[in-house]
Copies of this chain bind each other. A is one copy, B any other.
Amino acid sequence: MSSDPLIIFTPSGKRGRFPAGTPVLTAARQLGVDLDSVCGGRGICSKCQITPGYGEFSKHGVTVHDDALSEWNAVEQRYDDKRGLKPGRRLGCQATIQRDVVIDVPAESQVHKQVVRKRVEARDILVNPTIRLYYVEVEEPDMHEPSGDLERLCAALHEQWEVENAQADLHLLQTMQPILRKGDWKVTCAVDHGRDGDAPRIMHLWPGLYEDTIYGLAIDLGSTTIAAHLCDMRSGEVIASSGVMNPQIRFGEDLMSRVSYSMMNKGGSDEMTAAVREGMNTLFDVVAAEAGIDKGLIMDAVFVCNPVMHHLFLGVDPFELGQAPFALAASRALHLRARELDLKLHPSARVYLLPCIAGHVGADAAAVALSEAPDKSEDLVLVVDVGTNAEIMLGNKERVLACSSPTGPAFEGAQISAGQRAAPGAIERVEIDPVTKEPRFRVIGSDLWSDDPGFAEATAATGITGICGSGIIEAIAEMRLAGVLDASGLIGSAEQTGTDRCILDGRTNSYLLYDASAKGGPRITVTNPDIRAIQMAKAALYSGARLLMDKFGVDKVDRVVLAGAFGAHISPKHAMVLGMIPDAPLEKVTSAGNAAGTGARIALLNREARGEIEATVHRIHKVETAVEPRFQEHFVNASAIPNAVEPFPILNTVVDLPQVSFNTGGGDEASGGGRRRRRRG
């Protein structure tokens, strides 16, 4: 045995001795080396390409001679003539081991490809989907040993791929017979492996060797927008992404107004279900057209969404989610068929919905947990998915807590006097000079600051139209840093602040950010009600996080991850000045981008990840903010900017917060007090 040739695979480093004449693919399989093959070693799929290395490998202690592998054979020659093999490549199923050899498995020959995520702290995604392709050669029917075509197909899957006890979807039965004959009893099967313990199910057949790929969709079903990422299920790459507005918006802008719509209108829930499914189908058409693929090749789809969207999508009336105790119909992950949900994809396409964590913390939060993996973090991480509702998780590998907090739409530019959605022309960055109190800003669509030369020309096309969510946060934080806004949220008067930018606006003051009214353009101010709206939103966010810190028994977190599209544009410093998030080193506040969408993509591409997040969700402890007395207390404290009681020591090493107070009345809080006085009078 020890005189058998040694084979060493790179990059895995796996090694073993095999009798001379063993195909490289066979050795790879026996050693558990990740070397692809769709045809099962028949020399036709070319997925098992390998690169032998020759010469001295002192690291491995072997010398590889020119005759280490069998000679180039006719199958390889035919493949090379037809398709072309890269120089130095061999087919792993054809080349046999003759002497000691070092074999490199190139990335494209690995079954479980890695999809590299750009962020440093994010793990790469291992491509290992639930639906796999197998090439099989099926026995022809024999009337003396009668058996169904399906039975012989399943026998082939068992014998040639160890896929046991395969079942078939009805659609397969209906289409199978001509395909088997067209392929002369050689076919490629798409098999859904489902959950552990489920019988594998054959979903589709192609005659002969199917050399193309199949597709899957990762869908982030939001209250406002539906975003779909179309993935190549072999490479794992996103090949097209698109989004549409959620057509349910016509029934209500926010979730609770949709819940009310269903309560007030008979059949309202069904109407909203039909609308969102129709919207999905439109989106699928768009994304398939963009990628130039046949929608019928989309065989799997993973959905993440908040609980109300989850129920409305499934056709479950969200009534119970509108009132305590916020009971979900089901919190588990759901395995369905696209057809059951009226989705027009492959006729047997699968649908997977991630589990929900609680009545307010949905599958979208589970997807964020899958992407950001707080349950695997060594240090204590706060993960915040900022949207109309903020989903907040705090934890480390010991335990994870989660809650949701009703931030409202202010962070998205709604309820803000000059607010608008993030689109060209919207102010997204703001700086205010602490001495002159003069602002400068940037708008979406240009990299120039407003005091840079050429700014007017650069923004002439879009104009300067309003302030988006990240812009209002920077504006308010900068106002606080420049001393034109006090901790209670009052804007000082021109006299108090020494700048004409502060102007009387009714009974309170506003800060003038941009004025083009002389030229018939807009006049963009930050008003006291704007401040109030952001105070409410950020207090909700902070007090949710703080409540989890209480429950965890900590006063600080090691790092903060901001998820969601909005989170990607927030400046950590400004968020912290505002007191949106707990005090932490600024470099420890990072953005995860659309973590929910990424989580959906992980669950789409990796079968094990589904079981993993289902188990994780069970371990996440949910905290219901609505009934926690401390939440109210934290909320009141967090209304101050940054906070009435929390010290923010790390922030204070970075910025100086002016100790100003513009409250001149008898009330403890200007505008509120003013309104109260008027009502009494």
In contact, A148 and B356 (Cβ under 8 angstroms):
yes
Instruction: Tell me if A149 and B329 are in contact (CB < 8 A).
Output: yes
- Contact partner of A319 among B168, B177, B622, CB < 8 A? B177
Q: Is the CB of B325 within 8 A of A173?
A: no
- Does chain B have a CB within 8 A of A627? yes
Q: Interface with B: A66-74, A243-251, A330-338, A532-540, which one?
A: A330-338
Query: Is A147 engaged at the interface, CB distance under 8 Å to the other chain?
Result: yes
Q: How distant is the Cα of A341 from the Cα of B170 in the complex, in angstroms?
A: 9
B324 and A149 contacting across the interface, CB-CB below 8 Å: no
Q: Which of A319, A329, A356 has the most CB of B within 10 A?
A: A329
A325 to B146, CA, bound (A): 8
Q: CB of A81 within 8 A of chain B?
A: no
Residues on B with C-beta less than 8 A from A329 are 148-150, 173-174, 176-177
Closest 6 CB pairs of A and B: A146-B358, A148-B331, A141-B327, A150-B330, A143-B325, A148-B330
A62 to B681, CA, bound (A): 93
Complex Cα spacing A412 to B518, Å: 99
Pair B314/A174 contact, Cβ less than 8 Å: yes
Given contacts A317-B177, A319-B177, contact A330 B622 (CB under 8 A): no
Contact yes or no, B170 A336, CB < 8 A: yes
**Which A residues are closer than 8 A to B by beta carbons?**
140-151, 168, 170, 173-174, 176-178, 197, 199, 314-317, 319-320, 324-332, 334, 336, 340-341, 356-359, 361, 622, 624, 626-627
Beta-carbon nearest neighbor of A339 in chain B: B340
Taking the closest CB of chain B, its distance from the CB of A191, in whole angstroms, is: 16
Nearest CB in chain B to that of A355: its residue: B148
A324 and B143 CA atoms in complex are apart in Å by 7
B325 contacts A141, CB within 8 Å? yes
Provide the bound-state CA to CA distance between A315 and B148, in Å.
16
Judging by beta carbons under 8 Å apart, are A151 and B331 in contact? yes
Q: Which one of A326, A327, A336, A626 has the highest number of Cβ atoms from chain B below 10 Å of its Cβ?
A: A327
CA of A98 to CA of B359, assembled, Å: 50
Judging by beta carbons under 8 Å apart, are B331 and A147 in contact?
yes
Say which residue of B143, B146, B326 sits within 8 Å of A146 (CB atoms): B326
Please tell me if the beta carbons of B143 and A326 are within 8 angstroms of each other in the complex.
yes
Q: Which residue of B lies closest to A324 (CB)?
A: B143
- The answer for the CA separation of A199 and B332 in the assembled complex, in Å, is 15
Given A148-B332, A170-B341, A174-B315, output 6 extra A-B contacts at Cβ < 8 Å: A140-B325, A142-B325, A146-B327, A173-B330, A174-B314, A177-B317
Also in contact, A357 and B146, with CB within 8 A (given A141-B325, A151-B332): yes
Residues of B contacting A358 in the complex (Cβ-Cβ under 8 angstroms)? 143, 146
Q: How far is the CA of A147 from the CA of B147 in the complex (A)?
A: 47
22 A-B residue contacts at CB 8 Å?
A143-B325, A143-B359, A146-B325, A146-B328, A146-B357, A146-B624, A147-B328, A148-B327, A148-B328, A148-B329, A148-B331, A149-B328, A149-B330, A150-B330, A150-B332, A168-B330, A170-B314, A174-B314, A174-B317, A177-B316, A177-B319, A197-B199
The answer to whether B176 and A146 touch across the interface, beta carbons within 8 angstroms, is no
Contact B328 A624 (CB under 8 A): no
Residues of B within 8 A of A622 (CB): 145-146
Most B CB within 10 A of own CB, among A147, A325, A331: A147
Number of copies: 2
CA distance A178 to B263 in the complex (A): 13
The interface residues of chain B lying within 8 Å CB-to-CB of A361 are: 146
Most buried by B among A145, A170, A336: A170
Measured CA separation A170–B335 after assembly (Å): 10
Cα A144 to Cα B403 with chains together (Å): 11
Assess whether B359 is in contact with A177, with CB atoms less than 8 Å apart: no
Question: In the complex, what residue of chain B is closest to A335 when comparing beta carbons?
Answer: B167
Kindly provide the distance from the CB of A181 to the nearest chain B CB, expressed in whole angstroms. 8
Complex-state Cα separation, A148 to B176, whole angstroms: 39
Known pairs A174-B315, A314-B170, A340-B170; A330 contacts B146 (CB<8 A) = no
Interface residue from B168, B314, B327 paired with A149 (Cβ < 8 Å) = B327
Complex: A358 Cα to B147 Cα, angstroms: 6
Expressed in whole angstroms, the minimum distance between the Cβ of A329 and any Cβ of chain B is 5
Shortest C-beta distance, A402 to chain B (Å), equals: 10
Q: How far is the CA of A145 from the CA of B314 in the complex (A)?
A: 23
Quick check: A143 and B331 within 8 Å, CB to CB?
no
For A147, the closest partner residue in chain B by CB is B331
Q: Give the residue of B143, B176, B326, B356 whose beta carbon is less than 8 angstroms from that of A624.
A: B143
Shortest Cβ distance from A621 into B: residue? B145
Given the known inter-chain contacts A141-B325, A315-B170, A315-B174, please indicate yes or no for A330 contacting B151, CB distance below 8 A: yes
Contact between chains at A146 and B340 (CB < 8 Å): no
How far is it, in angstroms, between the C-alpha of A622 and the C-alpha of B358 when the chains are bound? 57
A157 to B315: give the CA distance in the assembly, Å. Answer: 24
For the complex, what is the distance from the CA of A170 to the CA of B330, rounded to whole Å? 10
A174 contacts B316, C-beta separation under 8 Å: yes
Kindly state the separation between the CA atoms of A267 and B340 in the bound complex, as whole angstroms: 25
| A324 contact set on B, CB distance < 8 A | 143
Residues of B close to A168: CB separation below 8 A: 330
Q: Which residues of B contact A177 (CB under 8 A)?
A: 316-317, 319-320, 327, 329
Task: Tell me how far the C-beta of A182 lies from the nearest C-beta in chain B, rounded to whole angstroms.
Answer: 13
Q: How far is the CB of A621 from chain B (nearest CB, A)?
A: 9
Measured in the bound complex, the distance between the Cα atoms of B189 and A230 in whole Å is: 39
Question: Inside 8 A of A144's CB, which chain B residues have their CB?
Answer: 624, 627
Quick one: closest B residue to A624, CB to CB? B143
Nearest residue, chain B, Cβ from A198: B199
Expressed in whole angstroms, the Cα–Cα distance for A275 and B442 within the complex equals 68
CB contacts (< 8 Å) of A316 on chain B: these are 173-174, 177
**Cα distance A328–B361 when bound, in Å?**
50
Query: Complex formed: what's the CA distance from A168 to B149 in Å?
Result: 31
Task: Give every chain B residue within 8 A of A331 (Cβ-Cβ).
Answer: 146-148, 150-151
Look across to chain B and name the residue whose beta carbon is closest to the beta carbon of A314.
B173
Closest Cβ of chain B to A193, distance in Å, is 15
Residue of B nearest to A318 (CB): B177
CA of A197 to CA of B198, assembled, Å: 8
Q: Which residue of B lies closest to A331 (CB)?
A: B148
Report B-chain residues with C-beta under 8 Å of the C-beta of A197: 197, 199
Determine whether the beta carbon of B174 is less than 8 Å from that of A359: no
By beta carbon, the residue of chain B nearest A319 is B177
A320 vs B316: C-alpha distance when bound (angstroms): 43
